[in-house]
Structure formats: structure tokens, C-alpha cells
Amino acid sequence: MADHADDIYASPDCGIDTLALLGPLAPLAGTWEGTRGVDIAPKRSGPRRQEFFERITLEPVDPGNNGPQVLYALRYHTWMCKPGEKGTYHDQVGYWLWEPATQTVMHSLTIPRGQTVLAVGTAAPDARQFTLTATRGSTDYGICSNPYLETNFRTDSFEITITIHDDGTWSYAEDTVMQITGQDEPFHHRDSNRLTRVAAPSPNPLMA
């Protein structure tokens, strides 16, 4: 892991072509659809398996820096519905971030249930698979929920593994470990899908 410069107000030079500087995140850029998503969610009667359709857009934004820390990012929005329906099953926004100096990947997500997560992992620039995690209570890469969720559906950990496939598709597998009121054992809320690109990404504004 590389050290950052001592000057926390430094303004390093950043390459302006985000798509060329995203490291392992580069294959994710664009608009994607997946028709065979699977969600294993908690219900009163036990785990429920629900298939879903997903459309996710990941667009490059201009490079950013926190003093000497340089980051390249994809802003994303994912939307899901049940097969044959038009209503929203799940909606989520956030960023995928790549820090070349430390080969760190970050994933932020926010959902309209009053919950947000920042997960982290490491990967080589040409990695075809990488895993990110977040833990409740952590003040750097953690999980924050509204009081109702914290009391009744407490999320203790989050893990996502991304796999880039040779045919140009990519897939994810998520495991969200929850402690649910009235249940003795933690519940593993799992989601997965494989996505096919339907549109190429647009250049970040500095390149457009």
C-alpha cells in the first residue's frame, strides 16, 4: 500500500480520461441489463426467493482528489423490477471508486429505506474478480441505518464480489448479514445477477 504525501492540502496532477484510468472498474462502465437476478430475502415464513430484472447505468465522472489522494469514479444508478411488472422492486444509487496509488476499490450505496454503506477491497488494475466488505460500527468503511432498521433488521456486515467474464458480461454476488428481531440466528440476505451491456458509457465531462 502506497503512502500519501505529507501535505494534506496537496493538489496532484490527475489524468482527465476517467475511462482509461479506472483500473479494474473499467469493464463495468456503460449501461447494463440482467434478466435473471435472484434475491433471497427475509419474510415471516422464512427465506423468500424472488427473481428480478435489473438495469444499471455506470457513467464516468471527472477525477477527484482529497488532497494527495486521487480517485477515479463511476456514478451509478440501478433499478430492479419483478418479471412482467413495472413497479420498482429495488432502487439504489452510489459510486464505484478506484484509488490507483493503493490499489483500493470502494463501493458506496444508498437505498431509499434510510440506509447507506461504504465497502472496500483491494485489487490489481487488471483484476477480473474482487471482493469488497463493510462492517457495522466501523467509522471508515461501514454501515449506517435509520433507527427502525437498526432495531428490527440490523445489518451487521455487507460483502460483494464482482466477476468480469470473458464474454464481456459481468456478475455480482452480495451477502448482507442481518440480525432480525425474533430470530436467533443471523439471516444471510443474498442477491446476484449477471449483466449484459446494452449501451456504451459516455466520456466524463472533461473529455466530452
Give the domain extent around 195. 18-199
Give the model's pLDDT for residue 11: 86
Angstrom CA distances, 179 to 36, 171, 199, stand at 27, 27, 39
Determine, yes or no, domain membership for 7. Answer: no
Identity at 119, one-letter amino acid code: A
Determine, yes or no, domain membership for 205. Answer: no
pLDDT tens for the chain, 208 residues long, are 456 778 898 888 899 999 999 999 999 999 999 999 999 999 998 999 999 999 999 999 999 999 999 999 999 999 999 999 999 999 999 999 999 999 999 999 999 999 999 999 999 999 999 999 999 999 999 999 999 999 999 999 999 999 999 999 999 999 999 999 999 999 999 999 999 999 999 999 999 8
Determine, yes or no, domain membership for 206. Answer: no
Determine, yes or no, domain membership for 135. Answer: yes
Determine, yes or no, domain membership for 10. Answer: no
Determine, yes or no, domain membership for 60. Answer: yes
- Residue 122 sits in a domain of what CATH number? 2.40.128.20
Determine, yes or no, domain membership for 164. Answer: yes
Determine, yes or no, domain membership for 106. Answer: yes
Structural domain count, the chain:
1
The DSSP string of 119-163 is EEEE--TT-SEEEEEEETT-SSS-EEE-HHHHHHEEEEEEEEEEE
